[in-house]
Amino acid sequence: MKFFVDTADIAEIKDLAATGLLDGVTTNPSLIKKAGRDFKEVIAEICAVTDGPVSAEVVAMDFDGMVAQGEDLAKIAKNVTIKVPLTIEGLKACRHFRNKGIMVNVTLCFSPAQALLAAKAGASFISPFVGRLDDVGSDGLTLIHDIVTIYNNYDFETEVLVASVRNPIHIVESAKMGAHVATAPASVLKALVNHPLTDRGLETFLKDWAATGQKL
């Protein structure tokens, strides 16, 4: 499974990139607002930090507007992935960009039917939002299972990018189902390393080492 970090914070991205485990970055208007910086400037800086896909979202709701904004964003760097909403206009824009060899992330997916349409439109990535479904009493992970099953049935090349990830369980369960990518806040990605038995083992080893009186 590939790991993308869901942030526009350059410091967080650099920190994760240093681990060698970061495969890409996703952003959205809310994250750009939180960063408080110029959108294109942030995307350019992120693209310089990672060679992986960097999702930059259009905000137009019509096809012509999405195309104009997306083509402008695509000029920033080769690894820019244009993020479009899962609407009819968004699917049209997806097809347009894919025909030009530009990566597309179709976002705000909440049903298997929507995911099927995105794959038919040639999306590079489909972003089902597991956490937001959990928030309204649905099972977000069931959606991941259904999309992976459908895509495998037809050998679609679209990668399942699990989004709105709230905890390590979302990532692990999605990986077991065969999802290709998980995008999550830096705090959730870092939480994957945590286990109380690891901490307890380290505590014991360090205590016993100290008792030997030796130095390295």
* Helix axis angle, 140-154 to 112-120, nearest 10°: 40
What is the Cα Rg of the chain in Å? 19
| Annotation marks residue 92 as catalytic | no
Which candidate in 83, 190, 207, 215 is catalytic?
A: 83
What's the sign of the alpha-carbon dihedral 143, 140, 9, 189? negative
Integer Cα distance of 215 and 1 in angstroms: 39
What's the sign of the alpha-carbon dihedral 152, 67, 33, 75? positive
By annotation, the residues acting in catalysis are 83
